[in-house]
């Protein structure tokens, strides 16, 4: 039932989103998601991804983040949860090989590229893998398509 609820949420996400995002980096290698405005300076993001880079069977997963923007800057920070079916992308530890739940922080900024409705962003993700009690550190570069 949870899988159907996640699938339903991901299919409906573009109709409520303020932007769609595609990222390369942690936690799953290639990630795609939607970002929603929840309140002034507060956004939510849901994403799903697949990891084909650490060898072996591909890891699938997804997560949700709560992001707060820093006023008068392009900076934002937040926290979220993710679930992986296999190995995640991380510089320190790779997370539970059998999959599992994890927590991650998000610190990011938008880069000034000067394109209308298109943003490029860079993020750093400190991660904690609940299944193995290990820490990880990841990052991502992404493109934001705004509406």
CATH at residue 119: 2.40.160.20
DSSP string, 76-128: EEEEEEEEESSPPP-SS----TT-EEEEEEEEEEEE----TTEEEEEEEEEEE
Flag whether 11 is in a domain. Answer: no
Dump pLDDT digits (tens) for 24-58.
988 888 999 999 999 999 999 999 998 876 666 67
H or E element that contains 48: strand 42-51
Flag whether 142 is in a domain. Answer: yes
Flag whether 6 is in a domain. Answer: no
Flag whether 7 is in a domain. Answer: no
16 confidence band (pLDDT: 50, 70, 90): low
Omega of the bond leading into 27 within 30 degrees of 0 (cis): yes
Flag whether 12 is in a domain. Answer: no
Looking at the structure of the chain, the number of domains it has is 1
Question: Cα dist. 80→54, 58, 104 in Å?
Answer: 23, 22, 5
Flag whether 135 is in a domain. Answer: yes
Q: Tell me the residue range of the domain where 50 lies.
A: 19-146
Flag whether 4 is in a domain. Answer: no
Best CA proximity match to 62, nearest among 16, 37, 31: 31
Average pLDDT over residues 104-113: 94
Distance CA 104, CA 114 (A): 30
Q: Is the pLDDT of residue 146 over 80?
A: yes
Flag whether 50 is in a domain. Answer: yes
H or E element that contains 17: none
Is this prediction's pTM over 0.85? no
Dump pLDDT digits (tens) for 116-145.
899 999 999 999 988 788 888 999 999 999
């Amino acid at each position: 039932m949870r899988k159907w609820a996640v699938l339903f949420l991901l299919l409906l996400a573009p109709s409520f989103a303020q932007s769609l995002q595609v990222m390369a980096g942690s936690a799953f290698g290639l990630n795609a998601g939607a970002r929603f405005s929840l309140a002034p300076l507060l956004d939510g993001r849901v994403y799903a991804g697949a990891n084909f880079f650490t060898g072996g069977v591909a890891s699938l997963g997804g997560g949700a983040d709560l992001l707060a923007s820093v006023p008068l800057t392009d900076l934002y920070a937040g926290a979220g949860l993710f679930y992986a079916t296999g190995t995640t992308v991380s510089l320190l530890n790779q997370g539970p090989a059998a999959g599992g739940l994890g927590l991650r922080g998000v610190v990011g900024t938008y880069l000034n590229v000067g394109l209308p409705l298109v943003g490029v962003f860079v993020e750093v993700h400190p991660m904690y893998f609940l299944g193995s009690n290990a820490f990880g550190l990841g990052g991502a570069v992404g493109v934001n398509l705004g509406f």
